[in-house]
Structure 1
Amino acid sequence: MNTHNPAAAFFASPAARGVAALLRGVHRVSPDLGTRIAMGLFFTPMPTKWLARSRAVPRPWVERQLPFEGGHVSVWQRSDLEPGRPKVLLTHGWAGDAQQMRALADTLAQAGFEPVLLDLPAHGRSSGWRSNLFQWVRALFAVTARFGPWEGVVAHSLGALAMSHALARGLPVRRVALVALAPPPMQFLQWFAQAMGTPESLATGMRGRFERREGVSLGHFEPAWLAERVEQPTLIVHDRGDVTAPIAGSETLLAGLPSGRLHVTEGLGHRRLLSDPAVMQQVAAHFA
């Protein structure tokens, strides 16, 4: 079992340790208040969004804003492609943004597709400062209704988990590529509680509060549950040494898929996959 906790390094700064100490104190006095504060921290993507919002995006990429749940999500398209190409939707992971997918999108454009990039809620130039997987799933359906249908979808990390759930719920897509599939949400909740130095009861309380609010079980993001419901031909790409998202989740998903293939890389970690030439060609070939 991989015991590495990605959240531990993330919350290692002096400021983060101070926040963790405060959370532990509040949770000891009032578990309910501590859980509510933890929920706010957990669902706020880091680092802050101003970096993504200030980044210049080169032509021919242009931003479209799609109204969504009182705000908007930003959708990126290339202005230099002729109409009628088969479309591919690309989505990033937690604390990422659409521009991480641009190199892969440009490769797909060269292969004859029309790539469409999405800044998920509270990420990139989309509005909001907090978000969660269920909102991401709703955003995927909203973007599909406006910009689809999709010949294929490519999703990274936690975006791949949200995409898998959307597919299980009937999102219309012909072929799927999942890159560095993230562990299920309960694993992240446990990592978060460990990094904060709080008891595991905090993770359990967060799960219960979240499921009551959304009306859906987090078990519906477990690889075994998803695999029984994702019917599309699926390429899974994962690096063997990925410590942010251990490969075991992709292997579990693959074992239950009716039509799946796992491409394992070495030495690329969690994010370098997205701009690796061999990986990009694997994805393009899967759609072709």
Structure 2
Amino acid sequence: MTTHNPAAAFYASPAARGVAALLRGLHRLSPDLGTRVALNLFFTPVPTKWLARSRDVPRPWVQRRLPFEGGHISVWQRSDIEPGRPKVLLTHGWAGDAQQMRPLADTLAAAGLEPVLLDLPAHGRSSGWRSNLLQWVRALFAVTARFGPWDGVIAHSLGALAVSHALARGLPARRAALIALAPPPGQFLRWFAQAIGTDEGLALRMRGHVERREGVSLGLFEPAWLGERVVQPTLLVHDRGDLTAPLSGSETLLAGLGAGRLHVTESLGHRRLLNDPAVMEQVLGHFLMATSATPALRVV
């Protein structure tokens, strides 16, 4: 069976096909130059970030700026919440922003929790134009040092992958909810190379460049590796028909978790999960239940 390549749809437009042709030409002329240009493109979020930076955010949500790696990351809190509530960190996926998580955050606030929203580097109101998964992990530890520890963390897509890795490395949180967990970066690099019409050599060179620069193997983001190391009770929510992030990633992570539960939805795709009332109910219930009541490896 052929695996759907979500990057292929992005490179279907005439402008994107032109970019792909340019990259193929550079790759043939100089693999090293082609790799550098490809990395710059790969780590640049799509232009929806410009819209996110100009969007009005209603009160009582207020923005805090936290210094981070020569710029800042934006953190959002509600001004109407009294201190002492259980704190839950929420963050988005690639090309998303914190405000995508606001409906879920407001649901948590109404139930007596304190939600904290994070714009990851190069997204939303945070500074920067390029970012990568390793920088996202560092941002999670930076915001935790200032606002944590957490009673819970909630993340979507690539943000869920970053949170999984951070939890495996000791991010202090009691519970986690991972929505539409993204595939590992090695898979995205292969999809990217296929979409622009190059061989897998480009994906391998891009991966090697990232691993040398960051000093971390991308294998440490594979679901099987993470599942053995994430110890928190974890709710996984994933749509059966998600074309951006296949359900198999959440299933693989679940198999390694000591205290995991997978809730599978139908016909919600990759992003509509975030606004679905039934999904919000599942997530809220996960954070309100006693830790000892969390079942292991149960699919609902």
Q: Look up the match of 1:14.
A: 14
Kept in 1, the 8 Å contact 2:49–2:96? The answer is: no
**How far is 1:49 from its partner?**
2.1
Kept in 1, the 8 Å contact 2:65–2:73? The answer is: yes
Q: Look up the match of 1:101.
A: 101
RMSD, aligned α-carbons:
0.7
**3-state DSSP class of the match of 2:174?**
strand
AA in 1 matched with 2:190 = Q
CA distance in structure 2 between the partners assigned to 1:50 and 1:233 by the alignment: 36
Does the C-alpha gap of structure 1 residues 208 and 157 become closer, same or farther in structure 2, counting only changes over 3 Å? Answer: same
**How far is 1:48 from its partner?**
4.4
TM-score (norm 1): 0.99
Q: Which runs of 5+ in 2 are unaligned?
A: 289-300
Q: Look up the match of 1:118.
A: 118
Q: Look up the match of 2:188.
A: 188
**How far is 1:92 from its partner?**
0.1
TM-score (norm 2): 0.95
Kept in 1, the 8 Å contact 2:49–2:97? The answer is: no
Does the C-alpha gap of structure 1 residues 2 and 55 become closer, same or farther in structure 2, counting only changes over 3 Å? Answer: farther
CA distance in structure 1 between the partners assigned to 2:126 and 2:63 by the alignment: 10
CA distance in structure 1 between the partners assigned to 2:245 and 2:255 by the alignment: 17
C-alpha deviations, 1:167-193, integer Å up to 9, x for none? 000000000000000000011001100
**3-state DSSP class of the match of 2:128?**
coil
**3-state DSSP class of the match of 1:183?**
coil
Kept in 2, the 8 Å contact 1:2–1:246? The answer is: no
Identity rate of aligned residues, in percent? 84
Q: Which runs of 5+ in 1 are unaligned?
A: none
C-alpha deviations, 1:227-270, integer Å up to 9, x for none? 11000000000000001000000000000100000000001000
C-alpha deviations, 1:75-110, integer Å up to 9, x for none? 000001111101000000000000000000000001
CA distance in structure 2 between the partners assigned to 1:231 and 1:184 by the alignment: 19
Kept in 2, the 8 Å contact 1:121–1:131? The answer is: yes
Q: Look up the match of 1:86.
A: 86
CA distance in structure 2 between the partners assigned to 1:242 and 1:215 by the alignment: 32
| Deviation >4 Å, runs of 4+ | none
- Is the aligned partner of 1:202 residue 2:202? yes
What pairs up with 1:86-235 in 2 under 5 angstroms? 86-235=86-235
CA distance in structure 1 between the partners assigned to 2:10 and 2:40 by the alignment: 16
**How far is 1:2 from its partner?**
5.2
AA in 2 matched with 1:79 = S
